[in-house]
């Protein structure tokens, strides 16, 4: 499963998907290196703000939809979209961009 997740992460290149940088391993562990997401999880933002404006919501949903459409065009189904798997590039609302992460249970679709 981990090999498939790494393969999928390498294939998905989109502004609204957390970028996979590299994998390193030693004799005991495999380390996956991803882009740093300073803004944290959507779940934490929901907890701190309590509610969103229509403009904020539109920006988040639009970014998520763009990521999902791109994944589907690549033949990848995420299968685990939830607040914890939506991360932000920045804490500053003006620079904040949502990105989809955690392709651990995603699958590549095959014909038929």
Neighbours of 51 (CB within 10 A): 7
pLDDT at residue 112 above 80? Answer: no
Q: With pLDDT > 90 as the criterion, what percentage of the chain qualifies?
A: 79
Backbone angles phi, psi at 33, to 5 degrees: -110, 125
Mean per-residue pLDDT over the chain, rounded:
93
Q: Find the radius of gyration of the CA atoms of the chain.
A: 15
What pTM value is reported for the model?
0.90
80 in catalytic set: yes
For residues 91 and 8, is the Cβ–Cβ distance under 8 A? no
What are the angstrom distances between the C-alpha of 14 and each of 6, 47, 73, 82?
Answer: 16, 27, 12, 19
Q: What stretches of the chain adopt beta strand conformation (E)?
A: 20-25, 30-34, 40-41, 76-77, 86-88, 98-100, 107-108
Of the residues 13, 47, 66, 80, which is catalytic? 80
**Each residue's pLDDT tens digit, 22-61:** 989 999 998 999 999 999 999 999 999 888 999 999 999 9
Position 7 scores a pLDDT of 86
Query: What is the pLDDT at residue 2?
Result: 77
pLDDT at 60: 96
What structural domains does the chain harbor? Answer: 2-108 (1.10.510.10)
């Amino acid at each position: 499963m981990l090999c498939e997740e790494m393969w999928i992460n390498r294939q998905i290149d989109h502004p609204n998907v957390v970028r996979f940088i590299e994998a390193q391993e030693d004799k005991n562990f495999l380390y996956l290196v991803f882009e740093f997401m300073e803004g944290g999880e959507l779940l934490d933002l929901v907890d701190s703000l309590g509610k969103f404006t229509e403009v904020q919501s539109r920006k988040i949903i639009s970014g998520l939809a763009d990521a999902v459409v791109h994944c589907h065009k690549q033949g990848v189904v995420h299968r685990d979209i939830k607040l914890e798997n939506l991360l932000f590039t920045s804490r500053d609302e003006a620079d904040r961009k949502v990105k989809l992460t955690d392709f651990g249970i995603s699958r590549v679709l095959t014909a038929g």
